[in-house]
Amino acid sequence: MESVSAAAAAARVEIIEEAVSEQEREEAERLHRRAVAAEAMAAARSVAKERGVLLKKEEASSFKAERLEKPAFMTKAQRQAAALARVEAKRKERQATLERESSKRRGARGGRFNEPAPLRDAAGAAQQDAARLMLRALDDEDPAKGASKNNHLNNKRKRSESKSSSELTTSEQELRSIRETYLGTGGGTKKRIVKPSEKFARIFQFDWDAGEDTSADLNPLYARRHAVQPLLGRGYVAGLDMREQRKAHNFAQVLAEKRQAEERALEEAEGVARAERKAREARRKEERDRLEADLAAEAEKVATKSLGKALSHWSEKKLEEMTERDWRIFKEDFDIRVRGGRAPAPLRTWEEAEIRDEIRRAIRDLGFKEPSPIQRQAIPVGLEQRDIIGVAETGSGKTAAFAIPMLDWVARLPSGRISHLADDGPLGLVMAPTRELANQINEEIGKLAKYMNIKSCTVVGGANVEDQAFRLREGVELVVGTPGRLNDCLETQYLVLNQANYVVLDECDRMLDMGFEPQVTAVLEAMGGLLKSEDEGELERQEEAAKRGEAWFRITCMFSATMPPPVEKLARRFMRMPAIVAIGDEDSNKNKRIAQRVVYTTDAAKKNALVDLLRRKTHDDDKILVFCNEKKSCDLVGKFVQAAGLRCAIIHGGKSQDSRDYALEQFKQGAVTTLIATDVAGRGLDIPNVAHVVNFDMSLKIDSYCHRIGRTGRAGKDGIATTFLTDADEAIMYELRQYLEQTDAEIPPALDRHPAARAKPGERNDRGELLTARASKGNTQFLKEDKFDLA
């Protein structure tokens, strides 16, 4: 019984080793342990039966545990040697047992020696079968060793097969049943399932093979491709230098010289007279000179184009010689960016502008030597009667950029339309956010229309409306006004806009910030001109008809230093395919030429700090503009400055129009060098030579801060801006810090360390605590350091 179990166990171990996958190996080991447990219980029962007693529970458990212990998996050679040793030991033990039984039988029968040997029992047969299998495995594992014993084993196998065919058959059947038990009945490898994509890949083949391409034979260009040698940005199209190619490919000259040499040889062979040969040689020389002259002229023509090396600057060329590359360089030099479809070429000089001579004479009288960047691009777009959005910093000449095309458009209108000004209203309209800016625009238009019979007037609040109505009844070509007063005049029918087809919105973002959007919309809707089509093709046809004077459509222009979303919304409603002209970087409102200084102080110390700053100015005639947030604050600061012995002027919305105009005029002429104002003077006013801007009260919005400091550093000049900052300005500290970083300005340590400058208003930390809160007039919340996770 033990020999059979040993043989079965050896067979199971062999099956475990032959397992292909890890899952099969684990399954074979599990079945092996179950078989070992069953054999252990059977062996325990057999031992108990031989003893005639029952085994104790502890003995049975230890016996079972010993058998259940997982066998140690040795190498194949070690297992084979151990199996042979066990088989040999069993064989010797069985031989000794047989000899003892034989001697007993001989003694019982009286010493008879002619009795046959007893037959082998089943256990002996099983031992011999197991040994035979192990030897066969050894021969398979080691071919060299098996080759030396082949003859002996084959003879022995033949003898044993003839004697024990029944035992071999029984042993093979047992092994086959064990293999089927542990590995299943499926024999051989599993059939691979072919994917449909692989199965039909060769049946449905729609791609062309490389050998089926006939394009190489169709055109010789495909077979002999031109190898382009790029010159890595040296300015030649496709990396080709036309002049170098002409030097390398002088086919015409070589052909002409070859033909002349052949003619000379032929003449010498024919014996042509010397005089005739000289005459022919002179003709040949004349042909060579003519050919060289033609080639030189062609080379010079190539050199004048952008493919040549000797390129001149755009300022040295005539207008018709300018190339696309020259225009790109020109726009880069003046930092001009144009979006929104096609746009005409910018102006290089005033002489290239297609404007009337009267306007050109007025420009010379004003001393404008060259156009400003916004004027260079905005004026050509306006002369084409296109809608335009101009974005440029303050003091860049935006007023002339829209006034010159407007005056030229009015001068080209037929006389029939001008005769109905009193009944149908003005031809053009300009809207500005403040009275001062409207008066300033009207003055500039008057200067440019000095030699033209074009009248203009202002319609602003603070002035006598009857006087303004009288001017309108007399008839004017252009009207400049504020949205509120214009809307009032439309409602009272002092003003009609039946034939107003040209409208300009100057400082449009400021008008919307001040809450004038309903009034602006009402004025634009009251205009009688037709809006252009939204279709691009139809729009081009309408613009061409307007140039020829066959039709009239509304022209809308917007100019400002910024383009917030409300302005874009208004532009989408009333403008058609506008050309967007921006001067400077993407954030053109960030003026990096202004030296910005931030003084961290308290409300009580601001007045003394302001007086000390006014007394320490560099030059006595330097103009200083001081901004406050409220009218009351302006008056208090003005009185404090005057009490300190310093002259100043005050301007805010509570003052009458006459006092405001007088204070502004005194400041412009230099009678007073300090002007204290609210934001009413912060946008659009052209106050020359402002050396210093002081923000006594920090503005509530960063855009207002930008426009305030934009009063200095105008038109390319440098300026200084000083801001007094207190703890009450926490709501703007974060944006102010970001603005100072973007303009490369110095950030004071107190502002840099302040908690409000480190997070946006309303932002919370990881614990959900509110980091910042906007300050209001009646309730100011101060922040705590412990709410910030500072490094």
Q: Could you tell me if 69 and 171 lie in one domain?
A: yes
Q: How confident is the model at residue 724 (pLDDT cuts 50, 70, 90)?
A: very high
Q: Could you tell me if 624 and 773 lie in one domain?
A: yes
Say which CATH number the domain at 577 has.
3.40.50.300
Residue 169 has pLDDT above 80, yes or no: no
Note the pLDDT of residue 406: 93
Note the pLDDT of residue 113: 43
pLDDT in tens, 58-68: 666 666 666 55
Q: Could you tell me if 483 and 550 lie in one domain?
A: yes
pLDDT in tens, 219-264: 666 666 666 655 555 544 454 555 565 566 666 677 778 887 888 7
Q: Could you tell me if 146 and 24 lie in one domain?
A: yes
Q: Could you tell me if 665 and 695 lie in one domain?
A: yes
- DSSP bridge partners of 594: 719
Task: Show the tokens assigned to 697.
Answer: 């009260």
Query: Whole-number mean pLDDT of the chain?
Result: 75
Residue 145 has pLDDT above 50, yes or no: no
Lowest model confidence (mean pLDDT) among 182-191, 295-304, 498-507:
182-191
Q: Could you tell me if 697 and 744 lie in one domain?
A: yes
Backbone phi, then psi, for 194, in 5-degree steps? -85, 130
Task: Show the tokens assigned to 274.
Answer: 């010397």
Note the pLDDT of residue 144: 45
On whether residue 266 sits in a domain, the answer given is no
C-beta atoms surrounding 549 within 10 Å: 10
On whether residue 737 sits in a domain, the answer given is yes
User: What is the extent of the structural domain holding 383?
Assistant: 372-439+477-583
Which among 142-146, 438-442, 535-539 has the top mean pLDDT?
438-442
Q: Could you tell me if 398 and 542 lie in one domain?
A: yes
On whether residue 287 sits in a domain, the answer given is no
Residue 774 has pLDDT above 70, yes or no: no
Q: Could you tell me if 508 and 532 lie in one domain?
A: yes
- What average pLDDT does the segment 405-409 reach? 92
Q: Could you tell me if 575 and 625 lie in one domain?
A: no
Note the pLDDT of residue 361: 92
Residue 351 has pLDDT above 80, yes or no: yes
On whether residue 720 sits in a domain, the answer given is yes
Which among 295-309, 349-363, 654-668 has the top mean pLDDT?
349-363
C-beta atoms surrounding 326 within 10 Å: 19
Which among 343-352, 523-532, 745-754 has the top mean pLDDT?
343-352
- What average pLDDT does the segment 304-318 reach? 61
Residue 254 Rama label (left phi>0; alpha psi -120 to 50; beta): alpha
Which among 242-251, 280-289, 707-716, 771-780 has the top mean pLDDT?
280-289
Backbone phi, then psi, for 579, in 5-degree steps? -90, 125
pLDDT in tens, 604-651: 899 999 999 998 877 778 889 999 988 889 999 999 999 998 999 998
Q: HEC profile for 435-456?
A: HHHHHHHHHHHHHHCCCCCCCE
Note the pLDDT of residue 765: 55
pTM, to two decimals:
0.48
Q: Count up the domains in the chain and report the number.
A: 3
- What average pLDDT does the segment 162-166 reach? 50
Q: Could you tell me if 606 and 578 lie in one domain?
A: no
Which among 583, 610, 630 is the end of a domain? 583
Which among 183, 206, 229 is the end of a domain? 183
Q: Could you tell me if 557 and 687 lie in one domain?
A: no
On whether residue 463 sits in a domain, the answer given is no
- Name the residue with higher pLDDT: 183 or 148: 183
CA distance 518 to 523: 9
C-beta atoms surrounding 56 within 10 Å: 10
Residue 149 has pLDDT above 50, yes or no: no
Note the pLDDT of residue 202: 65
On whether residue 725 sits in a domain, the answer given is yes
| Exposed e or buried b per residue across 704-726, where buried means at least 16 C-beta atoms within 10 angstroms of its C-beta | bbbbbbbbbbbeeeebbbbbbbb
Q: Could you tell me if 576 and 630 lie in one domain?
A: no
- Name the residue with higher pLDDT: 786 or 322: 322
- What average pLDDT does the segment 387-416 reach? 86
C-beta atoms surrounding 660 within 10 Å: 24
On whether residue 497 sits in a domain, the answer given is yes
Which among 541, 562, 583 is the end of a domain? 583
On whether residue 750 sits in a domain, the answer given is yes
Note the pLDDT of residue 359: 92
- Name the residue with higher pLDDT: 337 or 146: 337
Q: Using the structure block, give the residue that is written with the tokens 């459509």.
A: 553
Lowest model confidence (mean pLDDT) among 201-215, 267-281, 338-352:
201-215
Q: Using the structure block, give the residue that is written with the tokens 């005459």.
A: 279
